[in-house]
Amino acid sequence: MANPPMRNVMKFHFFNLTNPDEVLYYGAKPELVESSAYACIESEQKKYIEFNKEGSQLFYQNYKKYIYDSGESDEGTSFDDIVVFPNPTATGAVAAMADPEVNMSRTTKLATSIALLLLGEYPIITKKVREVLFDGYNDALLDIAHSPLLNVLSILLNEGKSIIPVAVPDMKKFGYFMGYNNSYDENFFIKTGKDDIDDLGGIVSWAGVHKLPSSWWSTDYSREIRGSDSASFCKTKLKETDELPFFQSFICRSFTKTFSGKGVIQGIPAMEFSVPYEDFDTTSEKNAGFRYKNVEKVDYYPDWPGCPRNFCNSKCQSETCRFCCGRNIVNGTHLLPPGMFPLVCYPGHLKPAPFSVIYSAPHFLYSPEQVRKSVSGISPCEQKHRPMVYQHEQFTGSVIQVDYRIQINMPVMKSSLAVQTTSLPNVDLLEKSVIAMLKRFNSDNSSEAAEMRSQHIANLTHMFWKQNENFANRSNILL
């Protein structure tokens, strides 16, 4: 169905920085407290649906809308609550100053540092929840960058090119989901399953491309758009040995689910497939294309991988040896530990990322101890924090429940390039997490509802959009 009658609840959790002064002035370990949940109702609608002449492919745009819901939020919370977190524009500007591709002179770096100080761009800021998420907030650097005066000066002094030496996000206000509300995730062309039912939902192209840009991901494997949109569809007659690829447009990368267990969802036998640790391990050669470029060349985790003395020898060729002996240095910069990969796009769009962000499993579940100990206040739990877990009906492959969780982190570094960052610690500072729980069937246990669910399963292989009918989704996001 283009507009399925479902209720999606997306919950956001923030990690509040409770010792900002100690972090800013003394380089102390960040002390974090995870907030209660702030809930938004998410509605989706697939518009402009059109089949090709052969009926083998289908075009659509997936529109999304978010509305804050105090009833679904945790008790005592308000969308006007205050959060303390790293300043994305300030940290991004400092990282750009350290980027050799930007190639700033010492004079330009000094001028930029002074300008950031005069504009009040400090590494740690305080804003309302609604501003950080969807409403956005005014930022001095963005205000200047998009002002008519700067446009005039750029025309007069720099042949129309911006006189600001660092890349500035193409947004007049800053918010992590600014512009994402009431928008769509680019254009999708997918397979209808006419030629092969097991190809149902497979993406043919996204945003007009068959592979993601090489400026985002560096290898052919990492650039592939595999499987269906957000794992909405997969093959039928599932087996425990199956591997189920899918593309997540919000993150702009593909994943692969593997079998992880069996269960029963509202009376329906289910096979559980989840994204394993291996998909988050960017230290492996297979996932080398998903690595954070780290152009600033900062060793965020100097005690990783933490190998014992005399570990290396001339005959050791394994990946573990290479990272130990090379002090986690690959291609001239420091590699981030497993469990993390960068944001490369504006979520859901074929546009470069407007700010530096690192994705991970909540509470760094898939990262080593050195990462978890870099901040205080996190406590990973396998049951609560596995990032992407799908429950499938075995015969049709239909998704009947999803637990989707992701964490968003901001790389913060100590740098002499700006006065404000000279005492900061080098750390990926947790900012927010998203835990999404999508229940694909209504919780109504009446005989009428049970009959509807049975009919739903029976018709899945025959009616393309039937898969979305009678779905009730709940989502949580940790920030």
Q: What is the pLDDT of residue 450?
A: 41
Q: How far is 148 from 150, CA to CA, in rounded Å?
A: 5
Whole-number Cα distances in Å, 16 to 12, 80, 267: 13, 14, 40
Q: What is the pLDDT of residue 471?
A: 31
Q: Is the separation of the CB atoms in 359 and 342 below 8 Å? A: yes
Decide: helix, strand or coil at residue 371. helix
55: which DSSP letter?
A: S
According to DSSP, the residues that pair with 334 across neighbouring strands are 329
Q: What is the pLDDT of residue 420?
A: 54
Query: Would you report the helix, strand and coil content of the chain in percent, each value rounded to 5?
Result: 25, 30, 45
Residue 309 CB burial class (10 angstroms; 0-12, 13-18, ≥19) = exposed
Q: What is the pLDDT of residue 6?
A: 60
H helix and E strand count, the chain: 12, 20
Q: What is the pLDDT of residue 425?
A: 64
Q: How far is 433 from 258, CA to CA, in rounded Å?
A: 23
Helices 106-119 and 88-97 pack at an angle, to 10 degrees, of 170
Q: Is the separation of the CB atoms in 460 and 466 below 8 Å? A: yes
Decide: helix, strand or coil at residue 244. strand
Place of tokens 């189920």: 244
Residue 270 CB burial class (10 angstroms; 0-12, 13-18, ≥19) = buried
Helix H or strand E encompassing 332: none
Report residues of the chain scoring pLDDT below 70: 1-7, 157, 159-160, 163, 165-167, 309-323, 326-327, 415-479
Q: How far is 233 from 156, CA to CA, in rounded Å?
A: 54
Reading phi first (left if > 0) and then psi (alpha if -120 to 50, else beta), residue 406 is in beta
Q: How far is 375 from 425, CA to CA, in rounded Å?
A: 10
Q: What is the pLDDT of residue 322?
A: 65
Q: How far is 92 from 421, CA to CA, in rounded Å?
A: 12
Q: What is the pLDDT of residue 417?
A: 57
Q: How far is 341 from 338, CA to CA, in rounded Å?
A: 8
